[in-house]
Amino acid sequence: MPILVMKFGGTSVATPDRIRRAAKRVGLEVAKGYDVIVIVSAMAGETNRLIELVDDIAPLYDAREYDAVVSSGENVTAGLMALTLQEMDIPARSWQGWQVPVRTTSAHGAARIEEIPTDNIMAKFAEGMKVAVVAGFQGVSAENRITTLGRGGSDTTAVAFAAAFGAERCDIYTDVDGVYTTDPRICDRARKLDKIAFEEMLELASLGAKVLQTRSVELAMRYKVRLRVLSSFGDNDESAGTIVCDEEEIVESKVVSGVAFSRDEAKMTLTSVADRPGIAAAIFGPLAEAGVNVDMIVQNISEGGRTDMTFSCPTREVKRAQAALEKAREIGSIDFEELVADTHVAKVSVVGIGMRSHTGVAARMFQALAREGINIQVITTSEIKISVLIDRKYMELAVQALHDEFELEKAA
């Protein structure tokens, strides 16, 4: 039998009624002849509740016990989904991560999947089971301790199962009906995409689009797992949602496919840094060790042997970055006059595989922003992306201006 993976996010299983609705969708796929692996998240809000309990009991918690607690929400959902399917006379059972087993690294809270043996689940399919309901977000380490994959980890679980079992497709059910050219809440002309390339989706996910977890897209691209993102509350026909696929499947694409943005950005500047060989390593080495996720980097022209170094990072990591750089100055590995943090910036990006073969995208982007009086503070580019850092109060205006400039409301 062909295998289909279906993943349901927290809002899709938030109540017993929604679990029944999701189970009906599973039943439709079983009726088409699929053996189905269902990956479930915890019910909406449950993981946050469990995290609050841990913080209340032990603010400086043991990460292994933290994982044992916060992974329990998915176990509840898996059991409820299996029971619902059984009530529909569909042979189903629930699986926790350790029962599969989903083997992971020992990095509690941010584990990575190493292996998913297929023997146990395939044996049950051979015995007549039609649906395996697997708790997402969790696995088991070599030390036989429960691990979790980080927030949004159920997406990664679903893609990893699709790759391991050679699934025909991996359907990600969520509360939106696909991938849009930008956030419809920001731009009312945003258009749902029928298809988007893995690389474009990866850039959009990493730049702030919250439809899919970045790691899940990386995994799908590496193993060529065909994804479909769709709403658990809408239609379920073959044309529903957005297909995330190989670039070759997209016959004709626009130069720019989407506009992404991130509010939670900070710009940090080290002034009057000694301009010498190795200074970049001396600055960004301590930041890496402190776990600061640096994005944009700009170095000014050197004057008198001194220069300014600017970089961006998530606002939640500003204090960690400040502490790491001050410590580096104290021990003498770097010397700077001042560390200035600006937490009132936003990152806006245009993304599209069409940029590879078209010129002038940057010029059009900058002209569109200039017409709206929006000043660009930092610029960074890749083969299919251009990102700028701007004053946060202009973020929504910038998104709308760029969406209009590239006529993203129109199909290719």
What integer pLDDT is reported at residue 206 of this predicted model?
Answer: 76
Burial (0-12, 13-18, 19+ Cβ within 10 Å), 36:
buried
- Is residue 224 a known part of a binding site? no
Are the beta carbons of 171 and 32 closer than 8 angstroms?
no
What integer pLDDT is reported at residue 371 of this predicted model?
Answer: 97
The strand order across the sheet containing 3-8 reads: 92-95, 131-135, 35-40, 3-8, 169-174, 227-231, 242-245, 195-197
- Is residue 210 a known part of a binding site? yes
CA distance 169 to 34: 11
CA distance 143 to 140: 8
Confidence of residue 301 (pLDDT cuts 50, 70, 90): confident
What integer pLDDT is reported at residue 352 of this predicted model?
Answer: 92
| Tally of CA atoms within 13 A in the half-sphere of 297 that contains its CB | 8
Confidence of residue 28 (pLDDT cuts 50, 70, 90): very high
- Is residue 352 a known part of a binding site? no
Question: Residue 141: which residues within 8 A CB-CB, separation 6 or more?
Answer: 103, 104, 105, 106, 108, 111, 147
- Is residue 47 a known part of a binding site? yes
- Is residue 74 a known part of a binding site? yes
- Is residue 175 a known part of a binding site? yes
- Is residue 366 a known part of a binding site? no
Confidence of residue 122 (pLDDT cuts 50, 70, 90): very high
CATH class (in words) of the domain with range 3-175: alpha beta
Are the beta carbons of 149 and 112 closer than 8 angstroms?
yes
pLDDT exceeds 70 at position 236:
no
pTM assigned to the model: 0.82
- Is residue 161 a known part of a binding site? no
- Is residue 7 a known part of a binding site? yes
In 334-382, DSSP assigns E strands to 338-351, 378-382
CA distance 29 to 33: 7
DSSP string, 216-279: HHHHHHHHT--EEEEETTS--STT-SEEEE-GGG-SS--S--EEEEEEEEEEEEEEEEE--TTH
Q: Which of 146-150, 204-208, 377-381 has the lowest mean pLDDT?
A: 204-208
- Is residue 404 a known part of a binding site? no
3-state secondary structure of 306: strand
Mean pLDDT for the chain overall: 92
- Is residue 25 a known part of a binding site? no
**pLDDT > 90 fraction of the chain, expressed in percent and rounded:** 75
- Is residue 45 a known part of a binding site? no
Query: pLDDT of 317-366, one tens digit each?
Result: 999 999 999 999 999 889 999 999 999 999 999 999 888 888 899 999 99
